[in-house]
Amino acid sequence: MLRALNKGTLFYMLAVMMLAIMDASAKWLSDDYSVFQIVLIRSFFSFLPIFGLAIWNQKRQLNFLVPRDRILSHIVRGCLFTITFGSFVWSLKWLPLAEATGISLVGPIFMVLFGGILLKETIGFQKWLAIAIGLGGVLLIFQPGSSGPLFAKLLALLSALSFALVAISTRKLSSFDSSETIAFWTNTTLMSIGAIGVLFYSGWVTPSADDLLVFFIMGLAGGIANLLFVVALRISEVSLVAALEYSLFIWAVLLGVVFFAEIPSINVWIGVGIIAVSGIYTTTRKPVAQ
């Protein structure tokens, strides 16, 4: 039990680190490339770990087929994931990395909220109070004095909302399909939307050799993060690793300082602290017996 817990914790910490590297890479590229092109190239390189895991698990026999009645569900999940990633990347054009990350960390709170609304899960008074306090933390980050326009902060909030819906759809699909199958369909949808956007809206900018390396790091880190999250949650309970989710903000602060000379304001630190406490409470609090 202890060995599984330690291994699950390690995998989850690595996943959070990979996610932070992906986000920092996206910010590095956001000034010179459109969101659609970043989405397209990110998804292309993210196929590498997906295919690698599929080959490992299925002994070189790749099979991502799903029944027709679930294809639409996979496409919807892919569209929601595109909104999650695309809106976050778009927000990075104006927001410091740590601030955008802090707003996006309200996602787990929205997961609990949507779980009650869409899945009819029980939300007691204490959880409702924690949700309200967590949303208050978001408002603290939104207040004047923090960096970036309101529009960009709303984009980061949209990313958190759609992330919660992605998580709920994942819970449903994971009862039927493997993690690599879910990742394959999501990534295919992501790449398709990126390609359509590049062809008909933003156009293509040929990356330099240095930027292509950043694209590669971003896609590889994103693909690895998604797979590590799945593995970690299979061998550890969500309540045991939930707090590690919020270490993403610390990584964002460190990467923001090193690569972008960004230091979060005090209201961002306080707001993220409130969001983290509320999020950990709502995701680890067991439902009260009726």
pLDDT digits (tens, 9 = 90+) for 143-197: 765 577 889 999 999 999 998 888 788 777 877 877 778 888 889 999 999 999 9
pLDDT digits (tens, 9 = 90+) for 88-117: 999 999 999 999 999 999 988 888 887 777
pLDDT digits (tens, 9 = 90+) for 272-289: 999 999 988 887 766 544
Mean predicted confidence (pLDDT) in 127-137: 89
Mean predicted confidence (pLDDT) in 222-226: 85
What's phi and psi for 287, nearest 5 deg? -65, 145
DSSP-based three-state secondary structure for 281? helix
- Which residues neighbour 104 within 8 Å (Cβ) at sequence distance 6 or greater? 88, 156, 157, 159, 160, 163
| Spatial CA neighbour of 66 closest among 55, 77, 52 | 77
